[in-house]
Amino acid sequence: MTRLLLVGAMVLVSGAAFAADEKPSDFVVCKSAKSVRTLSITPDQKASTCKVTYTKGGVPETVGEHTTKSSCKSILSHVQSTLENSKWNCKTVGSATVTTSSAVQ
């Protein structure tokens, strides 16, 4: 019984950590010539996880998911290092707004 209560308390604490942080918490833009790629970490409050998203050619793909923000940051850093080792220039952005347009010209 004590073990069950301890596990329940740990779940509540980890859930509370994500509740305070609902929008993308980290955003990195990488450029090479005319190409742009992005990396972001987005907490998922309902699942008490965070997701790392990599966007290439405007198509987002989840490249990692974990229960701790530090692990998600590690995944993001690994992908960023791989890009930088391939001569991409990456920069951390403080905030970002993503917009889409269906108009074709």
Q: Quick one: pLDDT at residue 44? A: 87
**Residue 32 pLDDT class (50, 70, 90 cuts):** very high
Domain range list for the chain = 2-93
- In angstroms, the CA 105 to CA 59 distance is 20
**Residue 12 pLDDT class (50, 70, 90 cuts):** very low
38-75 pLDDT, tens digit each: 999 999 888 899 999 999 999 999 999 999 999 999 99
Provide the token pair at 77: 């850093």
> Which range scores top for mean pLDDT: 6-10, 16-20, 93-97?
93-97
